[in-house]
């Protein structure tokens, strides 16, 4: 089991210098850092990879789509752009040395069209299926994130998200499950994990308020048992957004400081993850 921390915990903008964040993460003892490709292109990938490597850190990647690159769009040109945007993201992830890219990739964040979910899901799978070749060439796995109802109507549950991943028919396309979103949408998060066992490729943690795991009401022990039961051996990445007013997390409605000190929150998180997950996964 490898434990990671999302760089967004410290970032004010997605273009921030990552070197100080890598230093924090390495000193605390994380195995890797997840970086958002919203602020990283080919021009920075080589430097960032070296900076992470200098601290003994592996990298994982996340990304999101805008409405002009919507895999669910009825407009074939928009879907074509989605393939191009995601292809570039996969190539950047590979240049960073990451074996995984996950996030809001089945449909753009905040785009809702519930009356046409079935058709949109089918178009999403058809669009993402076209990435199988570049994923294989780059050695990258794509994870579709299950998001809560306030962020997506298409992939709000593990079941919906896994159905799209399976419809892609690619061994390199799976799902990302996140405790924050499951806390809202799943009646039984461990059951959702078990039901997604064939396609689960990435797992995010934060507590119910997006803060330090173990500080709120979410039952991570049950998730850990479910992950152990399905033989999950991937990353456990803490994705916490805790500072109010940061442009990088403006869309996430962080109206107050969830934790007083991001670095202290990271230390508490790693200690808790080792306690809960290390012995069972």
DSSP state letters, the chain: -EEEEEGGGT-SSTTS-SHHHHHHHHHHT-SEEEEEGGG--HHHHHHHHHHHHHTT-EEEEEEE--GGG-TT-S-HHHHHHHHHHHHHHHHHHHHTT-SEEEEE-SS-TT---GGGHHHHHHHHHHHHHTTHHHHHHHT-EEEEEP--TTT-SSS-SHHHHHHHHHHHT-TTEEEEEEHHHHHHH-S-HHHHHHHTTTTEEEEEE--TTSS-TTSSS--HHHHHHHHHHTT--SEEEE-----TT-GGGGGGT--S-SSS-HHHHHHHHHHHHHHHHTTT-
Question: In angstroms, what CA-CA distances link 245 with 24, 26, 252?
Answer: 22, 26, 10
pLDDT digits (tens, 9 = 90+) for 91-122: 999 999 999 999 999 999 999 999 999 999 99
Provide the domain limits for residue 69: 2-277
Query: Which pLDDT value is given to residue 142?
Result: 98
For the chain, percent of residues with pLDDT exceeding 70: 99
pLDDT at 86: 98
pLDDT per residue over 130-189, tens digit each? 999 999 999 999 999 999 999 999 999 999 999 999 999 999 999 999 999 999 999 999
Rounded CA separation 268/273 (Å)? 9
Mean pLDDT, residues 223-252 taken together: 91
Listed as own residue / partner, the contacts of 250-259 with beta carbons closer than 8 Å and 24 or more positions apart are 251/109, 251/110, 252/210, 254/210, 258/209, 258/210, 258/211, 259/211, 259/212
pLDDT band at 280 (very low <50, low <70, confident <90, very high): low
For the chain, what is the domain count?
1
CATH number at residue 220: 3.20.20.150
- Reported as half-sphere exposure (CB side, CA atoms, 13 A), residue 28 has a value of 26
Look-up of token digits 């919906």:
160
Q: What was the pLDDT predicted at 253?
A: 87
Q: What is the mean pLDDT of the chain?
A: 96
CA distance 17 to 212: 24
List pLDDT tens digits, range 66-87: 999 999 999 999 999 999 999 9
Residue 281 pLDDT more than 60? no
Q: What pTM value is reported for the model?
A: 0.96
Distance of CA 193 to the CA centre of its chain: 15
pLDDT average, residue stretch 16-36: 97
């Amino acid at each position: 089991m490898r434990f990671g921390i999302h760089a967004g915990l410290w970032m004010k903008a997605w273009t921030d210098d990552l070197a100080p964040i890598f230093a924090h993460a390495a000193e605390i003892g994380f195995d890797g850092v997840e970086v958002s490709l919203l602020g990283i292109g080919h021009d920075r990938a080589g430097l960032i990879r070296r900076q992470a490597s200098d601290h003994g850190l592996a990298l994982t990647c996340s990304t999101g789509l805008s409405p002009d690159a919507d895999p669910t769009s009825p407009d074939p040109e928009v879907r074509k752009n989605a393939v191009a945007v995601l292809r570039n993201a996969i190539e950047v992830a590979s240049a960073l040395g990451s074996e995984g890219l996950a996030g809001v990739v089945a449909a753009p964040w905040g785009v809702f069209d519930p009356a046409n979910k079935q058709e949109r899901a089918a178009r999403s799978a058809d669009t993402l299926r076209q990435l199988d070749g570049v994923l294989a060439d780059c050695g990258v796995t794509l994870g579709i994130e299950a998001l809560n109802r306030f962020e997506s109507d298409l992939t709000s549950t593990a079941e919906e998200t896994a159905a799209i991943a399976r419809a892609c028919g690619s061994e390199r396309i799976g799902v990302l499950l996140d405790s924050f979103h499951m806390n809202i949408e799943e009646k039984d998060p461990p059951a959702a994990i078990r039901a997604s066992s064939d396609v689960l490729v990435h797992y995010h943690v934060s507590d119910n308020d997006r803060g330090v795991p173990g500080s709120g009401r979410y039952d991570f022990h049950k998730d850990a048992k479910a992950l152990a039961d399905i033989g999950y051996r991937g990353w456990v990445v803490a994705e916490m957004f805790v500072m109010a007013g940061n442009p990088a997390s403006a869309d996430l409605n962080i109206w107050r400081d969830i934790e007083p000190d991001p670095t202290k929150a990271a230390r508490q998180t790693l200690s808790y993850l080792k306690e809960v997950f290390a012995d069972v996964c």
